[in-house]
A and B are shown apart, each in its own frame.
Chain A
Amino acid sequence: MIHAVKYHPTLELLEQYIEASLAPELSLAVAAHLDLCPHCQRIKMDLEAEAGAALINLPEADSTETDWQQMLSFITAQPEVAVKLEQRQPFSLQIQNSEILLPASLKPLMQNKLKWLNLGGISTAKLAGEDQHNVSLLYIRKDSEVPQHTHLGLEITLVLKGKIYDESGCYGEGDLLINTPDHTHTPRTMSEDCLCLSVLTAPLKFKKGLTRLLNPLQHLFY
């Protein structure tokens, strides 16, 4: 079902993720990767166990006895709430005329109908994002190339379906690519269409000519 994931988030990124220090949009990409990657699921649980152990080894921070008593009485006076453990199920979505199975993490962002912008072989639909962060789906038809570009910020791409290639390798389902500002790349597809989740922390800057033509792309991506 899932191809062996080759490209994972670094431990550092996972550590920031499990303690919620990472920007939420970046956390979303990590969460969706986790849905697809048993290896990182295990590391996530291990890191959380370590953080839990660190928590109980912290020296106690005091408050007055009254403060604690008030808090305790307030809490135990609260009614029980109905709780159920959620199932983490992938869901399917009609994208560009094909039914594609997507990781559960993305579901909350898919409540509205996707608005696709198309240009050449590439289509994007923005899912979320404000300020400095942007989350979108990127659908690249087969034999298409994304013009060479660099990033002003961090770009995280998670392959959801198909394969994408760049100067450093081939990425399949579940693979997470992280590109920093000093990294130029030209992603392309070969014989199959590719769907990616893309998280950008700042707009792209395209390197090669045809600036005027590529300007619309800027809007596509960001």
Chain B
Amino acid sequence: MDYSQFLYMHEEMSLLGVILLLFVTDLLFCKDSKRGGIYNSPLPVILLGVMTVFNALPLSDVQFEAFGGMYQHTPMDTIVKTTLNVGTLITFLLAHKWLARPENLVKQGEFYVVTLFTLLGMYFMISSGHFLMFFIGLELASIPMVALVSFDKYRYESAEAGAKYILLALFSSALLLYGVSLIYATTGSLYFNQIGIANTPSLLLLCGLAMFLAGMGFKISLVPFHLWTADTYEGAPTAVTAYLSVVSKGSAAFVLLVVLAKAFTIGGIKMDWEIAFFWIIIASITLANLFAIRQSNLKRFMAYSAISQAGYLVLGIMGGTELANDGTAQGMTAMVYYLLVYLAANMGAFAVINVVEQNSGKLGIKDYNGLYQTNPRLAFLMTLCLFSLAGIPPFAGFFSKFFIFMAAFNAGFKVLVFIALVNTIISLYYYLLIVKAMYISESDKPIATFRSDGYTRVALALCTAGVLLLGIAGWVYNYLTEIGMQSL
């Protein structure tokens, strides 16, 4: 065996190095659980930051395979992995104050290690070239995630959220596996490339593909499979909710695009899943928007908002699995760009929700009445992020929505784009409900003025910079277009 193949996987290997380093540090130096040992220091954040920069800088354009095609790497993978890294970094920054609580001090090391393991799973999932690798990555991403969701051991909601999440995650992975076994029965291979060549439309393959899509739908929380989302998002600790809604969801959506592009685009089966996605996207965007209007808890509200955003994200799959007529990978580029912008905006909103919760314990939308009077800067940042999520022009959210609509439109899904556009207006209504609560509604007891900690400030600065600059800096999209052309 050629061991130099491991060097190609430098992203995975360096992440594994960070994990082991943190694990050993936790084991050896954190005996004094009263003070939390080394983990009240920014060590995990710094390590992950260095690793992100180290992996993003060389930006190897090479497209390579390792381990007989089990592991396939494209330039776009590097971009997505870096994006996920930044999301995880912001999650760590958000989690810092929550982890400094006395009941969590002793568990700090676990939080960092378990979170990074889910990230490692997503890495393997993104670069997989074989269903076995894909499945192991998927499970490595979702089993530790359950532990994170029920991380608050003495809070009942956290345990209930974890129970709902694991039961449905298990159910969906069983469905997915059964689908994969049917795909194996029809094509005789589990390599994406060989399935791509060997697939001929048959009823068995269609059943397999439908089950596979249902399993992935659970992970991305698209509408017929979204029932766990709101409960899990509400019960989980806020930093974990932010992680679930951006990093976990974004990686699963990108992986779905990659698998469909590699395995199910050539051959006659493309038409079938396009019809399925047509209805799934319409249902996700519309139903989630309608449910979001009637929420009174902010985390539940963000859950439904995230389902609707997942619908827009998956819009990039429509026509995104092939090169467009002008030779660019429009769908893939638009999806990655959307993910980048969504990360900045959603993480920013969660940073505000988190810091308000840590300082006052309040999560209701009504509790935010009069936030502008007491904490004007937080209210302003929240408004920026919500406007970007809704897609109002000067912010990045407008451009990301525009590109993803353009990609779907060019692929010929005009009705779908029209329905998505109408839904953007509905979403504007409910995002403005929060803005109204913060700026206009009066309150007898508004949330008291507080100073947010340094970690949250850094996170908020990163997110605000993303929301403001990603839209204006045109080279970002151009650069992604170039990378996309080399990757599909």
- Verify that A and B bind, or say they do not: no
**Using a CB–CB distance below 8 Å, which chain B residues touch chain A?**
none
